[in-house]
Structure formats: structure tokens, C-alpha cells
Amino acid sequence: MSERVITLGGGCFWCTEAVFVRVKGVTDVESGYCNGHVHQPSYEQVCEGDTGHVEVVQLRYDDTQVSLTQLLEVFFAVHDPTTLNRQGNDVGSQYRSGIYTESPDDLKQAQDWVAQLNADKVFGKPVATEVLARANYWPAEGYHQDFFERNPHQGYCAFVVGPKVAKFQKTFVHLLRP
């Protein structure tokens, strides 16, 4: 096994986490905050929008089972990468679309991916996803971890997270965990 790490911001981390826990080869998904300027930010601080952090999921994955390219395909299919600082009704810089890497090779691959999406006009408008080295990562509070799995009938989960999970399961059957 060759374990790698990528950190993705696709709006609310509950949505992003609920999708990626279902991807074969993903060995761990942790909700957290990154690329802000406050050390150990709280959810409340991040929600105020002045810490610079983005809500993210840190993925650990076995690259012999799933590639970074496949993870990026899922990522771009389950959120709107063209809106700046928002996903649906979630508005604020903490909900921005982002790819945050640990290695220069992954950074280059993600930058090239976004450039190609823009060149091909895949979304009909420019991709607003930022691609940066990951910095100042901090895990989210325990009650945010596995939120959808523990609260599938909670309003936001039922009406926002659930449809994203269903879209993933329909579109990426070949990447579903057994």
C-alpha cells in the first residue's frame, strides 16, 4: 500500500466527508480547517469568516486502489467549483472550493487539472477552485466527524448532504467501496 494525503474544500465538510468515506481506496476522512492564519481555530471562529480557514476534508488514500485523478473527478462532480466563497446556501470564504496538497507533484497535478477544466470550458464558466500547498491544518471538533453517518435524518443532511451522496453513488459506481 502506498498511502497519500490530499485535502479538499468543497463547501460544508459534512457533504464532502459523506461522499469520500464511500470511495474505495480512501482509508481515512477527517473534517477540518486549513489555510487560515489562526492556530487551532474553533468552528465558531471559522464560521465568523475572519480566520482565513476553509472547511475541508483531509483524505488518506491508497494510491494502488484509487488515483488522485479519480479523487479529483469525484470532487469536481459533487460540488460547484465555479462559485467563489459559496456552495448553495452556504456563503462565506470558509466554503470556498480548494485543493490543498502536501507534495509539489500533487500541487502541479491539481493545477494542471484545473487549467485543463478551464481550457475545455467544462463548466461553462471559470473554475474558482484555489490550488495551494496545505497550511495550518487543524481537525474539526469531534461532533463534526462522521456527521452524516450519525445524523442522516437531520434537516441539512437529508436535503443537502443526502442528494450529493446519491449523485456520487449513481455516477461513480466503479469507485464505490465494496
pLDDT at residue 136, as a whole number: 94
What integer best gives the mean pLDDT of the chain? Answer: 95
Mean pLDDT of 137-165: 95
In the chain, what percentage of residues exceed pLDDT 70?
99
Fold classification of 3-175 is: Peptide Methionine Sulfoxide Reductase; Chain A (3.30.1060)
Q: Is 12 tagged catalytic?
A: yes
pLDDT in tens, 81-138: 999 998 888 888 999 999 999 999 999 999 999 999 999 999 999 999 999 999 999 9
Mean pLDDT of 131-147: 96
**DSSP-assigned states of every residue in the chain:** --EEEEEEEESSHHHHHHHHTTBTTEEEEEEEEES-SSSS--HHHHHHT-S--EEEEEEEEETTTS-HHHHHHHHHHSS-TTSTTEETTEESGGG-EEEEESSHHHHHHHHHHHHHHHHTTTTSS----EEEE--S-EEPPGGGTTHHHH-TTSHHIIIIIHHHHHHHHHH-GGGB--
Mean pLDDT of 4-19: 95
Domain ranges of the chain: 3-175
Q: Classify burial at 140, counting beta carbons within 10 Å of its beta carbon; exposed 0-12, middle 13-18, buried 19 or more.
A: buried
In the chain, what percentage of residues exceed pLDDT 90?
92
Q: Is the pLDDT of residue 34 over 80?
A: yes
* Active-site option among 12, 15, 34, 157: 12
pLDDT at residue 137, as a whole number: 97
pLDDT in tens, 39-60: 999 999 999 988 999 999 999 9
pLDDT at residue 132, as a whole number: 97
